[in-house]
Amino acid sequence: MTIEVDAAGIWDSEAIADVAAATFPLACPPGTTADDVSAFVESVLSSERFAEYLTDPTRTVLKVTENDVILGYAMLVDGEPADPDVARAATLRPTTEVSKFYVLPGGHGTGIATTLMAAVVERARAAGRDALWLGVNQQNVRAQRFYAKHGFARVGTKTFRVGSQVHADFVLERDLRGAVR
């Protein structure tokens, strides 16, 4: 199989929104209601929102594909973290948020996520960023294990609203200076 990672374009909005809607619930803790997931998907992960993200100069959406079929995506946001909890916890600058990082379940454990992460790191380094940061739900142990394997360290906590619920996240940071890996 040929796995490729490319920058997504506005023409990918609908296909990425479909992947986003299918994968977002996998990152939520048990107990998240279907209504809260739907509210989040509608307000943050719709094809209209992705069309905005894909034309925002501070954001980069990377898609991972096999034979042109999108299997996952990541969204990077350059700039100072808006959340004061994050700004305090993640101290390296200039930094980029890995705002979304999702692979469809059929691709878990296959190395597709590793390929996508390598592209995220390459793009951030090429843009002159010194660090990456992200928030991950405190109960999402699989993703935490994945990020730890890829050099992210836990530096703090923050909250994350999904519909009517406020979830507890860890803040993770990866230093991009120094040895390439």
Ligand X SMILES: CC(C)(COP(=O)(O)OP(=O)(O)OC[C@H]1O[C@@H](n2cnc3c(N)ncnc32)[C@H](O)[C@@H]1OP(=O)(O)O)[C@@H](O)C(=O)NCCC(=O)NCCS
Q: Which residues bind ligand X (CB under 6 A)?
A: 23, 26-27, 101-103, 108-109, 113-114, 136, 140-143, 145-146
CA distance 87 to 166: 19
The answer to whether the CB of 102 falls within 8 A of the CB of 72 is yes
In the bound complex, what is the minimum distance in angstroms from residue 55's beta carbon to ligand X? 24
Instruction: Give the burial string for 67-83 (b: 16+ CB within 10 Å, else e).
Output: eeebbbbbbbbbeebeb
In the bound complex, what is the minimum distance in angstroms from residue 66's beta carbon to ligand X? 14
CA distance 50 to 162: 18
Name which of 11 and 106 has its Cβ closer to ligand X.
106
CA distance 50 to 10: 8
Name which of 64 and 176 has its Cβ closer to ligand X.
64
In the bound complex, what is the minimum distance in angstroms from residue 135's beta carbon to ligand X? 7
Q: Could you tell me which of 50, 52, 48 has the C-alpha nearest to residue 16?
A: 50
Name which of 114 and 157 has its Cβ closer to ligand X.
114
In the bound complex, what is the minimum distance in angstroms from residue 29's beta carbon to ligand X? 11
Name which of 17 and 57 has its Cβ closer to ligand X.
17
CB-nearest residue to ligand X = 113
